[in-house]
């Protein structure tokens, strides 16, 4: 055997037997933790750093409440407009290798809020965030979930694709208008609902001789779930939408005659559906009426229309969207979903189950 080849083989054997003598294989035994400044063993499994939360201009009150429940500080964001009307978005905190959550409901002006969210997603990706979750308490484009007219866009799916293309690794949202919209997202998506929040509220009321009513058959499943939580019967309306402003309820399936009613809907925009279902309930001689909706937009003349209905005892909504003082009626109750949203964020960060949040309480 040539001497040179013999020396090479001998060197490799020694390298395999005594790797600590090889400087290439030596690794530092400790490193500084960016999270707490302590020395940690490098053999420990690497974890993402702390939760980092940013938001746009859509709903600062909700974001502040979520941060309070999580015990984290809201990271600052700069959003301004150039002279040519283009938006400028900058995340003003380090988010390298962080678990970033961007909270932004798509509320009016919807296109403005959507672009803010897309820019924040792209900025977080460019800043080397370990994971970026788009937290969208109200996903307004969920109403555009099918092609029910020629030559139209299924905007719910298109916007979902835009969010992923901009850098969303995960989506957290609440009470989508249609369940199939969940499938529009090509990244893991957690779909929360406010049924437990409503159930806790109505348990403090006198529910004798009460029925839960869904304004249309498409929301009958959620109405049935709330009815089971409250141990009440359920009924549903047969609704047909003629336009954004006009709906027709053909009939109500279920026994509502002489009963008090809780109407459950996902959102109230111009209140056309509520006014129509109220007309049929009066024909069936229903009693007191309470309205519960997750997203209380109350656009157009909705507040005036609801104020004129003397048989509505209370309107219960959540703070997924901001509600200005001029839209708040004396019989209106706004329930906070911040604790639910904060707990979901905590569980996502820690890799825990989110579905257990939906267990009836």
121-158 pLDDT, tens per residue? 999 999 999 999 999 999 999 999 988 889 999 999 99
Exposure string of 200-235, with b = 16+ CB inside 10 Å and e = fewer, is: ebbeeeebeebbbbbbbeebbebbbbbbebbebebb
Number of Cβ within a 10 Å radius of residue 198: 25
Highest mean pLDDT among 1-10, 19-28, 79-88: 79-88
320-351 pLDDT, tens per residue? 999 999 999 999 999 999 999 999 999 999 99
Both tokens of residue 62? 């909700």
Q: Measure the CA–CA gap between 335 and 276, rounded to whole angstroms.
A: 25
Q: Which range, of 35-49, 99-113, 214-228, averages the lowest pLDDT?
A: 35-49
Chain-centroid distance of CA 66 in Å reads 12
Number of Cβ within a 10 Å radius of residue 128: 11
Burial class (CB in 10 A: 0-12, 13-18, 19+), 103: buried
Percent of the chain with pLDDT over 90: 74
Contacts of 309 (CB under 8 A, 6+ apart): 275, 278, 289
* CB of 197 closer than 8 Å to CB of 337: yes
Top-level CATH class of 51-194+340-351? alpha beta
Q: Measure the CA–CA gap between 97 and 94, rounded to whole angstroms.
A: 9
Radius of gyration of the chain (CA): 27
- CATH number for region 195-319: 3.40.50.2020
176-212 pLDDT, tens per residue? 998 889 999 999 999 999 999 999 999 989 999 999 9
Q: Give which of 229, 227, 125 is closest to 168, Cα–Cα.
A: 125
Indicate if the alpha-carbon torsion angle 30, 31, 35, 38 is positive or negative: positive
Q: Measure the CA–CA gap between 62 and 137, rounded to whole angstroms.
A: 10
- 4, 146, 221, 239: which one is catalytic? 239
pLDDT band at 26 (very low <50, low <70, confident <90, very high): very low
- Judge whether 240 counts as a catalytic residue: no
* Ranges of each domain in the chain: 51-194+340-351, 195-319
User: In this predicted structure, what is the pLDDT of residue 149?
Assistant: 87
| For residues 149-170, average pLDDT | 96
Count of residues in the chain: 361
pLDDT band at 1 (very low <50, low <70, confident <90, very high): low
Burial class (CB in 10 A: 0-12, 13-18, 19+), 285: exposed
- DSSP letters for 163-189: HHHHT-SEEEEE--SSGGGGGG-SS-E
Q: Give which of 349, 339, 352, 354 is closest to 50, Cα–Cα.
A: 349
User: In this predicted structure, what is the pLDDT of residue 11?
Assistant: 58
Contacts of 26 (CB under 8 A, 6+ apart): 20
* Domains 51-194+340-351 and 195-319 alike in fold: yes
241-271 pLDDT, tens per residue? 766 666 777 789 999 999 999 999 999 999 9
Strand partners, 190: 172
């Amino acid at each position: 055997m040539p001497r040179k080849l013999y020396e090479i083989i001998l060197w490799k054997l020694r390298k395999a037997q005594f790797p600590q003598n090889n400087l290439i294989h030596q690794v530092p035994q400790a490193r500084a933790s960016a999270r707490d400044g302590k020395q940690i063993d490098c053999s420990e499994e690497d974890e993402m750093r702390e939760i980092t939360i940013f938001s746009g201009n859509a709903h600062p009150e909700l974001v502040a409440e979520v941060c309070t429940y999580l015990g984290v500080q809201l990271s600052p964001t700069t959003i301004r407009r150039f002279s040519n009307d283009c938006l400028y978005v900058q995340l003003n905190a380090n988010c390298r290798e962080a678990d970033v959550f961007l909270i932004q409901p798509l509320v009016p002006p919807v296109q403005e809020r959507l672009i803010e969210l897309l820019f924040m997603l792209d900025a977080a990706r460019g800043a080397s965030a370990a994971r970026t979750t788009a937290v969208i308490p109200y996903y307004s484009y969920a109403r555009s979930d099918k092609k029910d007219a020629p030559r139209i866009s299924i905007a719910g799916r298109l916007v979902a694709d835009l969010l992923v293309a901009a850098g969303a690794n995960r989506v957290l949202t609440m009470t989508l208008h249609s369940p199939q919209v969940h499938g529009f997202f090509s990244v893991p998506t957690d779909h929360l609902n406010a049924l437990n929040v409503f159930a806790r509220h109505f348990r403090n009321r006198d529910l004798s001789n009460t029925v839960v009513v869904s304004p249309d058959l498409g929301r009958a499943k959620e109405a049935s779930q709330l009815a089971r939580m409250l141990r009440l019967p359920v009924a549903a309306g047969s609704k047909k939408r003629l336009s954004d402003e006009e709906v027709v309820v053909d009939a109500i399936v279920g026994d509502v005659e002489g009963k008090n009613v809780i109407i459950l809907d996902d959102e109230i925009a111009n209140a056309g559906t509520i006014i129509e279902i109220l007309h049929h309930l009066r024909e069936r001689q229903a009693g007191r009426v309470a309205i519960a909706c997750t997203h209380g937009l109350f656009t157009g003349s909705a507040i005036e229309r609801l104020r004129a209905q003397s048989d509505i005892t209370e309107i219960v909504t959540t703070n997924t969207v901001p509600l200005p003082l001029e839209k708040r009626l004396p019989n209106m109750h706004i329930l906070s979903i911040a604790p639910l949203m904060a707990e979901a964020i905590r569980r996502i960060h820690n890799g825990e189950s989110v579905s257990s949040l939906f267990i009836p309480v």
